[in-house]
Chains A and B, each alone.
Chain A
Amino acid sequence: MRHDISFTVNGEPYNIAVESHHNLLQVLREQLVLTGTKNGCSEGECGACTVLLNGEPVNACLVLGVEADGHEIVTVEGLATDGHLAPIQQTMIDAGGTQCGFCTPGVLIAAHALLQRNPNPSETDIREGLVGNLCRCTGYTRIVDAVFEAARLQRVSNQ
């Protein structure tokens, strides 16, 4: 069954019809062709599909597209502003926190959200904040380094 929904993605308003049984991930990737967000496990374990729903991270594979009606979504494509990478994007590159890259969009969104709610996270805070984002390449150490550095940059720029 198709349902008309209105929502914003990365600040852009959309009015589209979505299938009631399609998840938000499918809507983003297949209808809006925002393919930055990845489909890993389809069951909320791996976090590759993490997006912001009204500013809070969720697994897009476990949200129905129709549920996005009236809400604001931010995907990895929406993290950069005016052609400038968000701090966490730049520090992930600098720290070598990405290898195959499949988990990276979800990690970036989850880390961005973590830094919004906790500007000065401890290593435990970072590891707990990213426990829903599985990475099979990096061993996480460099991802943690990247989040630390992004937190530092964020604090400096807010001073």
Chain B
Amino acid sequence: MQPFDYVKPNSLEEASALLIEHNGDARLMAGMTDLLIRIERGFFHPRLVVDVKALPGMRDLLVVRNGDLRIGAAVTMNEVALSPTARSGWPLLAEGCQSVASYQLRNRATVGGNVCNASPAADSVPALLCYEASVHIFGTDGDRTLPLAEFITGPGRTALQRGELVTAITVPAPARGAAGKFLKLGRTAVGDISVMNVAVLGWPDKATPSGSQWRIALGSVAPTVIRAPEAERILAANTSMAGIEAAAQAASDASRPIDDIRATAAYRRDMVRVLTRRGVEGVLAEIGEQANR
């Protein structure tokens, strides 16, 4: 492996300055579960890795004043998956984080890293898109916040500019009575990367014709994780069997999968339809029960 140096900066300013000073030869590191593999395989050739884990706020996992869940960029997958707060308030996210690889790997892999790698198969991202999470960015020109949907701009691409780093992700609390389902298809039942996945979030809303609102996100079936807005609209109008079938088809139509080593595009498209239907039925069973209480 190509040698590189390691530094643990004491402040966000210092981390940002190092990125600028080394101009492309420095890489941020958190859990290292993707970065080290890419360095070893020769995809990245950093001269310096900048360890951001100990920077202020990076390990925060807490509910802030407006009710959002604030996840410091270096909070691990296990910390979210095992957090009673996340599990009760943001279960879709906890499930997504829980589904990543193995217990050992989840002790190191971070939510911030998952978001910044911008893989279409990132398992925390479908839930974060359903909750309409925001990404908090530190830069020498000032802090900024972007909706996650705008932060991820392509496969492996983000809106981060030179010298910028992600400090936290904030996740708004879901509406009252919301329920979610994260359905992930891997080559094995547990522990594999997603062949594809579907996250479904629904909640009661008397203002819509169907009495409910929906968000659906699809992983590993497009260049980035995507929402399926047409499917969401159909379900807001109609959650009869015909409505669910139409929404599942609309989700499938929204996907743009590829053939690869894990599955064919045709299979993935078909599975989007199947898992969306199952997810919606599952959520409907839960929010229906609550409405009847």
Contacts and interface: CB of A to CB of B under 8 A. Distances in A.
A63 interface: yes
A128 B32 CA distance: 23
Interface in B1-22: 1-6
A110 B5 CA distance: 30
17 contacts: A21-B4, A42-B40, A44-B104, A47-B104, A56-B107, A57-B103, A59-B105, A63-B32, A64-B36, A67-B6, A110-B103, A110-B104, A128-B103, A129-B103, A131-B102, A131-B103, A132-B101
Contacts, number: 82
A59 B188 CA distance: 20
B51 A132 contact: no
Contact of A132 (B1, B2, B31, B105): B105
Nearest to A2: B5
B48 to A, nearest CB: 9
Interface of A: 1, 3, 19-21, 23, 42-44, 47, 50, 53, 56-59, 61-64, 66-67, 110, 113-114, 127-129, 131-133
A61 B105 CA distance: 11
Contacts of B103: 57, 110, 113-114, 128-129, 131-132
Contacts of B37: 42-44, 62
A43 to B, nearest CB: 5
Chain B contact surface mostly: loop
Contacts of A131: 102-103, 188, 190-191
A42 B36 CA distance: 9
Nearest to A65: B6
Contacts of A132: 101-105, 191
A16 to B, nearest CB: 15
A44 B103 CA distance: 11
Interface string B202-234: 000000000000000000000000000000000
B32 A20 contact: no
B3 A62 contact: no
B27 interface: no
Contact of A58 (B40, B108, B191): B108
Nearest to B188: A131
Given A19-B3, A21-B1, A67-B51, A62 B107 contact: no
A131 B1 CA distance: 28
B33 interface: yes
Given A42-B40, A57-B104, A58-B107, A66 B190 contact: no
A47 B103 CA distance: 10
Contact of A23 (B3, B36, B102): B36
Contacts of A63: 32, 108
List the 10 shortest-distance A-B pairs measured between CB atoms, nearest first. Answer: A132-B102, A131-B191, A20-B6, A1-B5, A57-B104, A21-B3, A43-B37, A132-B104, A20-B5, A21-B4
Given A23-B36, A128-B190, A44 B4 contact: no
A4 to B, nearest CB: 12
Contacts of B188: 131
B224 to A, nearest CB: 24
A127 B189 CA distance: 11
A110 B6 CA distance: 28
Contacts of B33: 44, 59, 62
Contacts of A58: 104, 107-108
A44 B38 CA distance: 12
